[in-house]
Amino acid sequence: MADLEVLDALPTKQIWDGVVERVVEGERMGLAIVELEPGAVVPEHRHDNEQLGFVISGSVTFTLGGETKQLGPGGTWRILGGTPHEVVAGPEGAVVADIFAPPRADWSELPAPPAREPLWPV
Amino acid sequence: MADLEVLDALPTKQIWDGVVERVVEGERMGLAIVELEPGAVVPEHRHDNEQLGFVISGSVTFTLGGETKQLGPGGTWRILGGTPHEVVAGPEGAVVADIFAPPRADWSELPAPPAREPLWPV
């Protein structure tokens, strides 16, 4: 991967059912552009990695620390390490950015989905 | 700041001439949604913080590690700590995401610009 790279040249990984990401891997963090199909569910989970992110397009319903909020473009989250969180994509799906520090070492073995064009930018 | 927050509720900072950011501050990293006016220049600089980012809207000309590339929406960068880099916004300006690990402690004293609506999402 080059240090300046277009989105569709990034490695692609399948994270959950209906959830695919393209990743920029740094040393201290990893940046994922994540596509969620309409209604895709990321069930409640937690990880030691800190996670920050925001909605690029579409919408999600985010549950974090006992709060549930619907977020459209520009809606942000801050998930300190170990905090349970859950996401459900809206009826039109969503594209979001997620950043993890440290990088998600547990993602190194994830499979690549069939090749496809990014859903965003349109 | 709440852990789930809309963009225009985030703290705003003036980083360079013609460059304003809204920030989600984590413990291990900071996420900035950065607005660059048309033709705004971020002169060559470097910092120990690792920086990953991508273009949300508009375009920038990015120079990093001896490479110069024009990037539109979805164009990404990976700047390991200490690497010089420079950015010039395109004729329509740009909105980009920049993430820094660790957070930019040197930004804590930056002034807030006059209140204004986010340029993105439109």
Contacts of B99 in chain A (CB under 8 A): 29, 31, 52, 99
pLDDT per residue as tens digits for the range B43-73: 999 999 999 999 999 999 999 988 999 999 9
* Residue B114 per-residue DSSP state: P
Chain A nearest-CA distance from B17, in A, is 23
Contact status of B82 with chain A (Cβ, < 8 Å):
no
The pLDDT assigned to B108 comes to: 84
B50, B54, B64: residue with CB nearest A28: B50
Q: Which residue of A has its CA nearest to B4?
A: A77
State chain B's mean pLDDT as an integer.
Answer: 96
The pLDDT assigned to A108 comes to: 84
Q: Name residues whose C-beta falls within 8 Å of residue A54's C-beta, 6 or more positions apart in sequence.
A: A71, A74, A75, A76, A77, A96, A97, B7, B24, B31, B33, B97
**Cβ–Cβ gap B74/A2 under 8 Å:** no
The pLDDT assigned to A109 comes to: 87
User: A31 and B76 in contact (C-beta within 8 Å)?
Assistant: yes
What is the C-alpha to C-alpha distance for residues B34 and B19, in angstroms, rounded to an integer? 7
**pLDDT band at B86; cut points 50, 70, 90:** very high
What is the C-alpha to C-alpha distance for residues B40 and B16, in angstroms, rounded to an integer? 9
- CA distances to A22, A43, A80, A81, B1 from A10, rounded to whole Å, are 6, 26, 26, 26, 32
What is the C-alpha to C-alpha distance for residues B89 and B35, in angstroms, rounded to an integer? 9
Residue B80 has pLDDT above 80, yes or no: yes
**Cβ–Cβ gap B28/A5 under 8 Å:** no
Q: Which domains does chain B have, with CATH numbers?
A: 13-106 (2.60.120.10)
Mean pLDDT of B25-33: 97
The pLDDT assigned to B2 comes to: 85
Half-sphere exposure of A21 (CA within 13 A, CB side): 20
pTM above 0.90, yes or no: yes
Mean pLDDT of A43-67: 97
More reliable by pLDDT, A35 or B66:
A35
Residue A2 has pLDDT above 90, yes or no: no
State chain A's mean pLDDT as an integer.
Answer: 96
What is the C-alpha to C-alpha distance for residues A84 and A110, in angstroms, rounded to an integer? 21
**pLDDT band at A27; cut points 50, 70, 90:** very high
**pLDDT band at A74; cut points 50, 70, 90:** very high
Residue B96: closest CA among B63, B47, B52: B52
Contact status of A107 with chain B (Cβ, < 8 Å):
no
